[in-house]
Amino acid sequence: MHELSIALAVVEGAGEAARRHGADAVESVRLRVGELSGVVADALRFSFEVAAAGTSLAGAGLRIEEVAARARCRACAEEFAPGAPPLLWCPECGESGTELVAGRELEIVGVTLPEGRPCPGSGAAGGATGGEGVMCRIVDLRQAVPAKNDGLAAALREELAGRGVTAVNLLSSPGSGKTALLELLLARAVERGLPVAALTADLATENDARRLARSGAPVRQVLTGGLCHLEADGLRGHLEGWLPDGTRLLFVENVGNLVCPAAYDLGETLRVVLMSVTEGEDKPAKYPMAFGLANLVVLSKTDLAGAAGFDGDAFAEHVERVNPGVEVLRTSARTGEGVGELLERITAVGAGRRPHRPPLAGPHLRGYRHGHDHGHGREQAHDHGHDHGHGHRHEPAPGVLRLEPDTGLPVR
Ligand SMILES: Nc1nc2c(ncn2[C@@H]2O[C@H](COP(=O)(O)OP(=O)(O)OP(=O)(O)O)[C@@H](O)[C@H]2O)c(=O)[nH]1
Ligand SMILES: [Mg+2]
Ligand SMILES: [Zn+2]
Ligand SMILES: [Zn+2]
């Protein structure tokens, strides 16, 4: 993961809390880091020192509390440790309907200030002096760290839903065949009169956009200039002034990478992860977040399965381990296998069908806490249960892309 950007966000969040309490220094910051958050504690400690230099957090201690991953079976309520790579089947009853209830947190629990500070708003008269003199030394925050991207992604999801756009985030390692498959998907969508557009991100070259533009659909190439993934805010900027009104279906080809793109919600309606038959059946186990958070899995280049000696059963087992119940579609850009089915799955979601909900998406990340502190001057963290609506990635966006049941064409 990107520990430096996380460290910068921690410094910003903690520094802001200190300022609200009139403190110009911070003694220590407490973080909760889930076992499956992908954060390396040592790298974060090092990055934190770098990020804190020259700020009110310079020299502040960083206390990292690891949160073990826990999953719960929805059938028998058994709670279990999924292990690594996560195995998300219920060990008690064998059910696949499980959900992660802890383990992906990344939050600032609170900050410790050098001396007692009056708690804002705690005084009877609400005076600046803190009224009755309730003192804050430990400030509760319970604030998600990469909240910035999550919040922006939620806003973009809402905006796109409002415009009637179904957005598909395509993830895979470099060369798995995202562009080749997209070429066919776009051509087919155009053929069916479906208003479709595609945005493709690469570190360099406009090759992919050139290939996709042959379909006749509006295409935009984004050059990330070295960045290994897309972020919601960047995507929103690229869509602004480009995404044609009336677009019903938007494909976003992420940067070829199975690590970082998995950690960034783009406000998509559907996340599709691709893997080709030449990459090794155990990729889902090696990249559990990429496969575990997908709404749909695509196995590409099936025309090469024989030559590659691809073991379909082993692959299915690895997928099921990290994402029980997810559908795997087999495709080939050579033979056209699976392209129609894939487009059908996507348009069905646009028409209101509920996408598969990956267990790893876990309810504990929904309704994440907001960014203000509560200044109670005590150490107990608490959840106020506010829902900020960050959690509707898997809810169908109502009214998006209605299709005529008999022709399969969009209703105009
Ligand atoms: N045999 C076969 N080759 C394929 C298939 N799909 C893609 N390829 C080839 O695989 C190579 C990579 O395909 P791309 O579509 O460029 O892969 P990509 O995932 O878009 O790659 P990046 O954008 O660089 O991450 C190209 O040489 C394609 O012709 C397929 O279904 N069968
Ligand atoms: Mg490509
Ligand atoms: Zn069970
Ligand atoms: Zn990266």
pLDDT per position as a tens digit, 9-25: 999 999 998 998 888 99
Q: 58 C-alpha vs ligand 1 centroid, how far in Å? A: 48
Q: Is 119 flagged in the annotation as binding?
A: no
Is residue 379 very low, low, confident or very high in pLDDT (cuts 50, 70, 90)? Answer: very low
Q: 267 C-alpha vs ligand 1 centroid, how far in Å? A: 26
Whether 185 contacts 270, CB under 8 Å = no
- Quick check: CB of 233 below 6 Å from ligand 1? no
Helix H, strand E, coil C: the string for 214-263 is: CCCCCEEEEECCCCCCCCHHHHHHHHCCCCCCCCCEEEEECCCCCCHHHH
Q: Which ligand is nearest to the CA of 79?
A: 3
For the chain, what percent of residues have pLDDT higher than 90?
74
- As a whole number, the mean pLDDT across the chain is 86
Distance (Å) of CA 407 to CA 190, 229, 402: 15, 37, 12
- Quick check: CB of 179 below 6 Å from ligand 1? yes
pLDDT per position as a tens digit, 324-344: 999 999 999 999 999 999 999
Q: 333 C-alpha vs ligand 1 centroid, how far in Å? A: 8
Is residue 278 very low, low, confident or very high in pLDDT (cuts 50, 70, 90)? Answer: very high
pLDDT per position as a tens digit, 343-352: 999 999 999 9
What pLDDT score does 22 carry?
86
What pLDDT score does 365 carry?
62
Q: What is the number of the ligand 1 atom nearest to the C-alpha of 256?
A: 25
Q: Which of 31-35, 39-43, 149-153, 398-402 has the lowest mean pLDDT?
A: 398-402
Q: Which ligand is nearest to the CA of 88?
A: 3
- Quick check: CB of 300 below 6 Å from ligand 1? yes
Is residue 295 very low, low, confident or very high in pLDDT (cuts 50, 70, 90)? Answer: very high
Residue 373, SS3 per DSSP: coil
Please, which residues bridge with residue 274 across strands? 298
Q: 264 C-alpha vs ligand 2 centroid, how far in Å? A: 19
Q: Which ligand is nearest to the CA of 175?
A: 1
What pLDDT score does 377 carry?
39
- Nearest residue by C-alpha to atom 2 in ligand 1: 301
Residue 392 has pLDDT above 60, yes or no: no
Distance (Å) of CA 266 to CA 144, 185, 243: 17, 20, 15
What pLDDT score does 21 carry?
86
What is the arithmetic mean of pLDDT over 288-312?
98
Q: 177 C-alpha vs ligand 2 centroid, how far in Å? A: 7
Q: Which ligand is nearest to the CA of 264?
A: 4
Q: 31 C-alpha vs ligand 2 centroid, how far in Å? A: 37
Distance of CA 33 to the CA centre of its chain: 16
- Quick check: CB of 172 below 6 Å from ligand 1? yes
Highest mean pLDDT among 10-14, 103-107, 163-167: 163-167
What pLDDT score does 118 carry?
62
Q: What is the number of the ligand 1 atom nearest to the C-alpha of 332?
A: 31
Which of 252, 239, 255 is CA-nearest to residue 155?
A: 239
Residue 133 has pLDDT above 90, yes or no: no
Residue 389 has pLDDT above 60, yes or no: no
What is the arithmetic mean of pLDDT over 55-74?
96
Q: 294 C-alpha vs ligand 3 centroid, how far in Å? A: 22
Residue 135 has pLDDT above 90, yes or no: no
Q: Which of 251, 334, 337 to mutate to test the pocket of ligand 1 (most atoms within 8 A of CB)?
A: 334
Please enumerate in sequence order all residues whose Cβ is within 8 A of that of 24, keeping only pairs 6 or more positions apart, or say none: 18, 56
Q: What is the pTM of this model?
A: 0.84
Is residue 131 very low, low, confident or very high in pLDDT (cuts 50, 70, 90)? Answer: very low
Q: Is 260 flagged in the annotation as binding?
A: no
Q: Is 76 flagged in the annotation as binding?
A: yes
Q: Is 2 flagged in the annotation as binding?
A: yes
pLDDT per position as a tens digit, 206-257: 999 999 999 999 999 999 988 999 999 999 999 999 999 999 999 999 999 9
What is the arithmetic mean of pLDDT over 82-96?
94
